[in-house]
A and B are shown apart, each in its own frame.
Chain A
Amino acid sequence: MGYFERALLAAVVIGAGAGFVGALVVLRRRTFFAQALTHGTYPGAVAAAALGVSVPAGAAAASVILVAVMAGIARIRQQGAQVAAGIVLTGGFAAGALLQAMIPGLPVQAESLLVGSILTVSDADIALAAAVALIAFIAVAFVGKEIAFSTFDPAGFRAAGYREWPVDLLVLALTAATVVSALPAVGAILAIALIAAPAAGARLVVGSFRGVLLAAPVIGAASGVIGVLASRAYAVAAGPAIALAATAFFLLALGISKVRGLPWKRVDIPVETAEDARIA
């Protein structure tokens, strides 16, 4: 298998996995949180590269710490979740840049961690992404009903006697795992595009939870393939091309939903005076 075919395979696997988990992230409105995770894992990746252990492992370890820090800050009354995400995000980036400056001769270059390099993914990276996607799929297959319930009606979910933290924790873990597995392809900055754009686009044209869960991975995989092909055709970096392809799908979905929303069929506006209503 040549490097280009491997890149295409990686694009399909990572795009589908990120799209699938992204559906949960977008529907549960945790996009900023996922964004903070993508940025915050950067120092973990740098540290792992410096220590010579695998980059995904370092990023995963960093994400566990970050989730704990964010959860802690978010519980403080004057602070809240957005502040927590923002601080973790910039702090993570600064820490990564500082680490990189302090460790000369790092084998990995900064911009390949930041914007990704899908043409150099290894078989292990693809296997990791496939495993994450499979685990996400199995999790949703088994507890999808509970996830949907807690997503769309948190109060009802609690009232029905369920506890919220297991579902939250599951989605968090899936998000972090997806972010980590998407890093080789699209990098720390652009990973959020593969997570948010397919799901947000799918949500605009598909009306059901199950539909979004099915459509988002397809859009994600298609964005990946189109991005890699465009990257070869126009000689641009692959990560940004993938992100732009995902954005194009979102804009397409936005256009479709706007066109659909136009009043094609003219319906008479029911005119009823108070007088009519009283008589009828």
Chain B
Amino acid sequence: MSLTDALFAAFSIPFMGRALLVMLVLAVVAGVVGVLVNLRGLEFISDGLTHAVFPGLAIGLVVGGTAGLVPGATIAALAGAVALTWLDRAGITADAAIAIVLTATFSIGVIVVSKSDDYTGALEALLFGRVLTIPPGEVVPLVVVSLIALAATAVTLKQQLFRAFDARGSRAAGNSPLTLDLVLNASIALVVVAAASTIGTLLVLALLIVPGAVARLTTRRLWWLFPIAALFAAVGSWLGLAAGFALSVGAGVDLPAGATIVGVFVVGYALVLLGSFAAGRIRAGLDTRPPSSGATRPTVVPSSGAPTRSAVGAAGEGR
């Protein structure tokens, strides 16, 4: 099989084309939401949501078969988003509480699945996804769910950014932190729903975290973060699907598509990380001025530009 076959011709097969369409929509949405996840430091909450969706998927599968997956997951995800927003605001040591919520919901899901007939097959399909076997009737609901998440984020994007960088200022300016948190967590939850039934609950987190992290590594301009994250996610999904197809058909190794996509994401992240590290070294070698003068160069960071992570964290603690 030639390279172009794997990269382009493979997607003329209906199930590959469907997978690519769903993954591209997901990638763009997850890229945009993922940047906010990164800026707000919500990685662990996202992880909690991915696990919280699991019992919804399991119950939906038991009650309504495959058609019950998306509704079940949506209900569970929105309930999880509300619960996690509340836990976060109640000030219970956040990360331990999230860990408990996520394992509890996950356990319920496993017990529900274990009561069904095809235990092993169902569990693996839910955990590692079935991007290549999405039925045609499910494409539209998945795309709609993703687009709702994108719309909710896009409408509040400016306020979300304000809140990420200056929580107190945002509150003082009259934005309700509760509403913003709920909207963002619900958007994350909807992305998780759409992604969970394609690449699996365990791998959704990669879709949310890796593109945002890559964008943070490559640019310091705030508005470039979103297109870069979306682009990285889209290209990663495309290459992942193509690689999975090439290896499965060409080399006869039966790779799970979801895991292959995530593998490509992580490898891409590692490459960008190495690249930025090398670029930083080269720049440091060329730049003989003391670091203090470098920090005040006006062109590097616009006034609304990305501050360091610690600054975001410090602002977050002021809530």
Contacts and interface: CB of A to CB of B under 8 A. Distances in A.
Contacts, number: 179
Q: Which of B104, B265, B266 has the most CB of A within 10 A?
A: B104
Contact of B309 (A78, A93, A114, A241): A78
Interface string A240-273: 1101101100100010000000000000000000
A114 to B, nearest CB: 7
B107 interface: yes
A77 to B, nearest CB: 6
B209 A83 contact: yes
A222 interface: no
A173 interface: no
Interface stretch (B67-75, B137-145, B254-262): B254-262
A195 to B, nearest CB: 8
A101 B95 contact: no
A261 to B, nearest CB: 12
Contacts of B209: 83, 86-87, 90
Interface in B228-248: none
**Which of the listed residues A87, A109, A190 has the most CB atoms from chain B within 10 Å of its own CB?**
A87
Interface string A19-59: 00000001001011001000100000000000000000000
Given A79-B309, A200-B97, A243 B259 contact: no
Contacts of A203: 93, 96
B10 to A, nearest CB: 19
Contact of A247 (B46, B104, B217): B104
Contacts of A219: none
A98 B263 contact: yes
A83 B254 CA distance: 30
Contact of A35 (B99, B111, B266): B99
A169 interface: no
B108 interface: yes
A240 B97 CA distance: 17
Contacts of A199: 96
B110 A32 contact: no
A83 B99 contact: no
Interface in A108-124: 109-111, 114-115
A85 B43 contact: yes
Nearest to A189: B106
B47 A95 contact: no
B165 interface: no
A228 interface: no
Interface residues of B, number: 59
B86 interface: no
B5 interface: no
Interface string B45-79: 01100010000000000000000000000000000
Contact of B100 (A80, A91, A241, A247): A247
Interface in B106-132: 106-108, 110-111, 114-115, 119-120, 123-124, 127-128
Contacts of B119: 111
Contact of B111 (A90, A196, A237): A237
B272 to A, nearest CB: 11
Interface stretch (B21-29, B169-177, B200-208): B200-208
A95 B107 contact: no
B253 A102 contact: yes
B226 interface: no
A250 B100 contact: yes
A167 to B, nearest CB: 19
B255 A101 contact: yes
B199 to A, nearest CB: 9
Interface in A94-139: 94-95, 97-98, 101-102, 109-111, 114-115
Given A80-B309, A87-B266, A241-B107, 10 more contacts: A29-B95, A32-B99, A35-B44, A78-B306, A79-B213, A91-B206, A93-B262, A98-B260, A101-B256, A254-B92
Interface of A: 26, 29, 31-32, 35, 39, 73, 76-80, 82-83, 85-87, 89-91, 93-95, 97-98, 101-102, 109-111, 114-115, 189-190, 192-193, 195-197, 199-200, 203, 236-237, 239-241, 243-244, 246-247, 250, 254
Give the 3 A-B CB pairs with smallest separation, nearest first. A240-B107, A193-B103, A90-B206
